Structure 1
Amino acid sequence: MTAGSARSGGRAIRVGLDVGGTKTDAVAIDGSGEILGRVRRPTGWGPDAVVQSIVETTLALAGEAGFGTADIRSVGVGIPGMVDSGSGRVLHAVNLGVESLDIAERAGSVIDAPFAVENDVKAAALGAASLRGDDASMAYLNLGTGVAAGIVAGGRIWRGTHGSAGEVGHISVDPHGRVCGCGQRGCVETLCGGGALARAWGRPGELPVRDIFDAAEAGDPVAAALRADLARGAAAAVRILVLSVDVETVVIGGGLTALGTRLEDDIVRALRADAENSPFMRSLHLDERIELLPIGSPVAALGAALLTAAPAGYPITEKETAAHG
């Protein structure tokens, strides 16, 4: 028995990686879902470097958490872009310099374990659902540079017919609004996406959205309008998710959650204002159905660890892990 096997107590280890544009966040969990270790490493640019980042981060995680590669029962990867979860191929991950990459085949040839690949936001939705500890339907709303959502019901990711379920960022809510990168006007993302807000703000700074909030509180009218846009867009996304798929809860994550209660309070006020003149909207209690993730929560890596290759999107059960053995 290896030292790694001794420390993991003979339990099958599941590894999950959240591959981002600048860093890869990885966790290892045991069969009960307990996080055994977590590491972060830089992500490389281009297909070869991305595969190398996945392999090296997995090996670093094994060293950090004290298990051997022979203990790894499965590896899940959450990655931005269009993902064919059945084949493990990612397409158009532009922030990583990837046009087409078969992650499951290439990384799996180095680490001898089944690989599952999923869009990062959908993986984060699965991770957020697992943290809630129940089977209630929920949506994960990612407010970052862009805006997207993942939907989980009964412990499974719901993708829709073509995998676009949850793409709330590109629903137009203002036909006369700002032009979106998708070509439409007034998409939700133009209101509450960090990239769109930074462009509209147009002033230098490391954290433009935080600068907008600070300037709004100092009385800057442009900043106040953009801050109101953010709340209005996020409230619209919550409303769309609840009205279209009737999820019980909308969990909000992504980089903008670093704003904490300032962001949450703004969204709650916007939801209440929208419902003020509508008995129907008031009956939905949308302001009570949102939650903000804690800053730094590893939900995408955790959700990736819960993926299995076929059928994709199901949590790995003890029966399934035994079948993979």
Structure 2
Amino acid sequence: MGWLQKLIGKVGGAQPTDWTLLDGLPDPGLGIAGKPIVPDQCYIELYVESLRLEKARRFATTFHGLIYSFASLARQGTDRAELASVTKPQNLATLGVNDLNRVITVSKRVMRPMPWRGNPLGLELGLFSIKSGNLLSPLVNYITKVSDLAGISVVTRLNPFVPLVLEGLDMIAGQTADSEIELAIDTDMSLVDSRLCALVARPKGTISGASLKIDPQDRKLLVDGKPLQAAYCVFSIRSSSMNPEWGEIPALKEAYADFTRAIMTGKHKEAEEALAAFNRQLIVSPDLISADKDRLKEKVKADLRDAFPGGGQSAPDGVRARFENRKLADLNLYDQ
């Protein structure tokens, strides 16, 4: 943590005293806020919902909107997880001065589902405007591509990407004539439920959460019922009982592939040993909550019974066809 703190001051116009974090805004019917966040009973995700830009006015040309996030949270049996993300959603790809008067609805996930192991959630969130053209546009494209690769990896494989992402952001921030921090936050949050938050370009003490509401149609921020005329970023911390990326966990994918290969031999003993190896990987996996581990264990155990009905020592004809090219994600963990 702390990259944004080091950055503030490098980029022209950044004044952290002019930014206010408003936590726990009322949910206007989006179904996001108020869901329990309990250790080992849910996953959490981070979404940027909407934003409004202002400081890019000085560019007098087209520019990119860039969202940076860095999350640090407890991880079972190992060091804290660290996830870096830099994204340029399509509706932030190329903006002009005329876009500064409108609210941009993003609803973009910037942190993939992670098992919640307990407080705190360390969070850095930054919104940048970057002048398009010259050398910065290719660099922005490169950093977002690297971030996309990191975002689909589990945390154990993410670590090599983090320095690349941050180094690229340092290079962008160093071009003070062509980049602006619109908003930024570096904080630790204690979570008991899911929530909607807003980071607003207003001095602390000059705006209160009681006066703010989120428009359910385009998620823009309203103050006393009228659109807020300031730069802001509405974001959400969401709770979910399901991890849609469970089937992409590398250690489990590899262990399940070994299991299906053992089934393909037609030998019950080899398949049993491979199942035991899969279960060992499942027990130590930090990327699933306990309920999902139990569910997945039963799914794979059912595969063994399917391959060797009646406890037979040899697989009957037809098993190869059923298990050939079978992948972990084919198990339909949530029966959907």
- TM-score w.r.t. the length of structure 2 is 0.23
Report which of the two has the higher share of strand. Answer: 2
Asked which structure has the greater CA Rg, the reply is 2
- TM-score w.r.t. the length of structure 1 is 0.23
Report which of the two has the higher share of helix. Answer: 1
